[in-house]
Chains A and B, each alone.
Chain A
Amino acid sequence: MTGLRATTIIIGVGNESRGDDGAGIAAARLLKSRITPGIEVLEQSGEGTALMDAWRGASRVILIDAVCSGVTPGTIHRLDAAATPVPTSIFPCSTHSFGLADAIEMARALHELPPQVIIYGIEGAAFDEGTPLSSAVELAIRAVADQIQKELQIAVLESPPSNT
């Protein structure tokens, strides 16, 4: 893949077989039905090197993942990862030794991080195998999808007029 992919990519991260860890995947699916063509919506397990490949060449990436920082379940965190380092401690749900936060910091070190990187973290309640999403998280997923949709429209309006 070349660096010419001047585009926005939305990546839902998680494991839908592990309760609220599926929040990112569910949000991505919801957005897929709403987003206009031209914006890619992907689902990823959270393995770091695969994430680095997924966003390579994009001008903007929006990641959605479940987090467990200890606050009320359903709380929505929004991090501007292009501006500040990502605290690895809020992603202990990762089953990967090289997960989302590592992938972002590695890409930053290698100058391969897209110019805009936004992470939406949805605080989970339970991460047990085979359980459904908790109700607080279901609500948060819809709220995150709404917020991303709004953010994208605003960003589109703010973009400079295209020359082509």
Chain B
Amino acid sequence: MKNRTIKVDYLARVEGEGGLLIKVKGNQVSEVKLRIFEPPRFFEAFLRGRHFSEAPDITARICGICPVAYQMSACHAMEDAFGAQIPPPIRSLRRLLYCGEWIESHALHIYLLHAPDFLGYEDAIRMAKDHPDAVKRGLRLKKAGNAIVNLLGGREIHPINVRVGGFYKIPAKSEFLALAEELKWAREASLETVRWVASLPIPDFERDYEFVSLRHPDEYPFNEGRIVSNRGTDIAVREYEQHFAEEHVAHSNALHSATKEGKSYFVGPLARYSLNFDRLPSHVQDAARAAGLGTVCRNPFQGIIVRAVETLYACDEALRLIDAFEMPDRPFVEVEPRVGSGCGCTEAPRGSLYHRYRIDERGLISDAKIVPPTSQNLKTIEHDLLDLVPKNLEMQKDRLQWRCEAAVRNYDPCISCATHFLRLEIEKE
């Protein structure tokens, strides 16, 4: 019998502050804790009493990498509450903005955060010395995504041009067309990225997950659709809280989500891909197949390949949307606030992001709930580690630790997002 402890005080290459503790007794893992010590951020509390129109800009501050996702979910929730209908040209521009965010976020994760795991480098800077062309490609790809967010969002980080009902200002068609040249390069570069990540030594590891994502009748999902799973869930966004719940766990400042039956589930690129493969254009499907993926992907380490496939899709979709651009009559539709509540769920780069707001007669927010993708994945990450560690006990400790850290990074966890929450429990004697 041999006892071992894997302890990572401070996880690198994740957004925010977290650590990892795994205790092994003999061949059994006795404890797995993804310790989230990033302080709670209380966004839901300080949304209370604010005007409904402020929600997109306030919640965008939760994350510097996926602010568009927060703006989109907030807008959709408000529009749901007020019964607003968004015209197709504005809807298309929202998809375009989301493409920008996916490209920049996925390129960052693939090249700077995750690839070093597979190539055996401590970080991307060390990797860049041996793989300069790959890193340069990644940085330029990220910039192509930033350029979309910069143009349509008004600036690259925490964009300011999104409002409930649409946008404050819509750039001229010529400005969108000016992005196309670089996006054509980005499309080729993302195809190259798919090939490159497929060549990385990716560990064999599969689990039978419950995948959850949006599904739209015609499109690969960004903003709209029903929430579906491979276990038969098929619900409207409004029914989310009847099927999924958050719980507090002692070792984490982030809540953990689970299904109402208490089971872990998986949101993010793997889930989206596995539930929506048929919604990808055929040439993107071909690229995925050529990279060794099936129509469903259950190996979380292959998430890096799925992200590359989604980056290719996002470049392709951005070019399609720019080509079909129509200037809306007005940049936004007027929304008339009314008492009630509304829900929104959109696909952030890391997975489904759910918002719910209650609005009072003054148009002020009386209650807010935000469930980011990382909270929904925390339980699944811990379950992956429970399964992964016993299968790899023959590894040297430092290699096993490396593998475990990579397994966490499979989910591109955003701890800053996950600790946005409200609940603060005080124990009294």
Interfacial residues of chain B within 102-157, with CB under 8 A of chain A in the complex: 108, 112, 124-126, 128-129, 132, 135-136, 139, 142-143, 146, 156-157
- B142 A95 Cβ-Cβ under 8 A: no
CB-CB under 8 A from B135, the residues of chain A are 106, 109-110
- B64 A52 Cβ-Cβ under 8 A: no
Q: Which B residue's beta carbon lies closest to that of A53?
A: B143
- B132 A111 Cβ-Cβ under 8 A: yes
A49 to B142: give the CA distance in the assembly, Å. Answer: 9
CB-CB under 8 A from B125, the residues of chain A are 102, 105-106, 109
Size of the chain A interface, CB-CB below 8 angstroms: 16
CB-CB under 8 A from A110, the residues of chain B are 128, 132, 135-136
CB-CB under 8 A from B13, the residues of chain A are 97
The answer, yes or no, to whether B15 is at the interface (CB within 8 Å) is yes
- A109 B128 Cβ-Cβ under 8 A: yes
The answer, yes or no, to whether A96 is at the interface (CB within 8 Å) is yes
The answer, yes or no, to whether A47 is at the interface (CB within 8 Å) is yes
CB distance from A160 to the nearest CB of B (A): 31
- B156 A96 Cβ-Cβ under 8 A: no
CB-CB under 8 A from A96, the residues of chain B are 64
Q: Which A residue's beta carbon lies closest to that of B104?
A: A49
A45 to B132: give the CA distance in the assembly, Å. Answer: 25
* Residue of A49, A50, A105, A111 with most partner-chain B CB within 10 A: A49
A96 to B108: give the CA distance in the assembly, Å. Answer: 12
* Residue of A45, A102, A105, A109 with most partner-chain B CB within 10 A: A109
Q: Which A residue's beta carbon lies closest to that of B156?
A: A50
Main secondary structure on B side of the interface with A: helix
Q: Which A residue's beta carbon lies closest to that of B13?
A: A97
Q: Which B residue's beta carbon lies closest to that of A106?
A: B125
Q: Which B residue's beta carbon lies closest to that of A109?
A: B128
Cross-interface CB contact of A95 among B64, B108, B146, cutoff 8 Å: B64
- B132 A49 Cβ-Cβ under 8 A: no
Interfacial residues of chain A within 15-57, with CB under 8 A of chain B in the complex: 45, 47, 49-50, 52-53
Cross-interface CB contact of B124 among A45, A47, A53, A106, cutoff 8 Å: A106
- A109 B129 Cβ-Cβ under 8 A: yes
A97 to B99: give the CA distance in the assembly, Å. Answer: 22
CB-CB under 8 A from B112, the residues of chain A are 98
Cross-interface CB contact of A106 among B108, B128, B142, B146, cutoff 8 Å: B128
CB-CB under 8 A from A95, the residues of chain B are 64
CB-CB under 8 A from B142, the residues of chain A are 49
Cross-interface CB contact of B157 among A45, A97, A111, cutoff 8 Å: A45
- B139 A49 Cβ-Cβ under 8 A: yes
Cross-interface CB contact of A47 among B15, B132, B157, cutoff 8 Å: B157
CB distance from B320 to the nearest CB of A (A): 26
- A52 B129 Cβ-Cβ under 8 A: no
Q: Which A residue's beta carbon lies closest to that of B65?
A: A97
Q: Which B residue's beta carbon lies closest to that of A102?
A: B125
A99 to B9: give the CA distance in the assembly, Å. Answer: 21
Interfacial residues of chain B within 130-189, with CB under 8 A of chain A in the complex: 132, 135-136, 139, 142-143, 146, 156-157
A109 to B124: give the CA distance in the assembly, Å. Answer: 10
CB distance from B11 to the nearest CB of A (A): 11
CB distance from B178 to the nearest CB of A (A): 16
CB distance from A1 to the nearest CB of B (A): 11
Interfacial residues of chain B within 13-48, with CB under 8 A of chain A in the complex: 13, 15
Interfacial residues of chain A within 52-84, with CB under 8 A of chain B in the complex: 52-53
CB-CB under 8 A from B126, the residues of chain A are 109
CB distance from B418 to the nearest CB of A (A): 15
Q: Which A residue's beta carbon lies closest to that of B107?
A: A49
A47 to B156: give the CA distance in the assembly, Å. Answer: 10
A31 to B143: give the CA distance in the assembly, Å. Answer: 29
Interfacial residues of chain B within 303-359, with CB under 8 A of chain A in the complex: none
- A108-136 Cβ-contact flags toward B at 8 Å (1 or 0): 01110000000000000000000000000
CB-CB under 8 A from A52, the residues of chain B are 139
CB-CB under 8 A from B139, the residues of chain A are 49, 52
CB-CB under 8 A from A45, the residues of chain B are 157
CB-CB under 8 A from B156, the residues of chain A are 47, 50
A50 to B128: give the CA distance in the assembly, Å. Answer: 17
A53 to B343: give the CA distance in the assembly, Å. Answer: 39
Cross-interface CB contact of B15 among A97, A105, A106, cutoff 8 Å: A97
A53 to B139: give the CA distance in the assembly, Å. Answer: 10
CB distance from A50 to the nearest CB of B (A): 7
- 21 contacting pairs across A/B (C-beta < 8 A): A47-B156, A49-B139, A49-B143, A49-B146, A50-B146, A50-B156, A95-B64, A96-B64, A97-B13, A98-B108, A98-B112, A105-B125, A106-B125, A106-B128, A109-B126, A109-B128, A109-B129, A109-B132, A110-B128, A110-B132, A111-B132
Top 4 closest pairs, chain A to chain B, by CB: A109-B128, A105-B125, A109-B129, A106-B125
Task: Apart from A47-B157, A49-B146, list 9 A-B contacts with CB within 8 A.
Answer: A96-B64, A97-B13, A98-B108, A106-B125, A109-B125, A109-B126, A109-B135, A110-B136, A111-B132
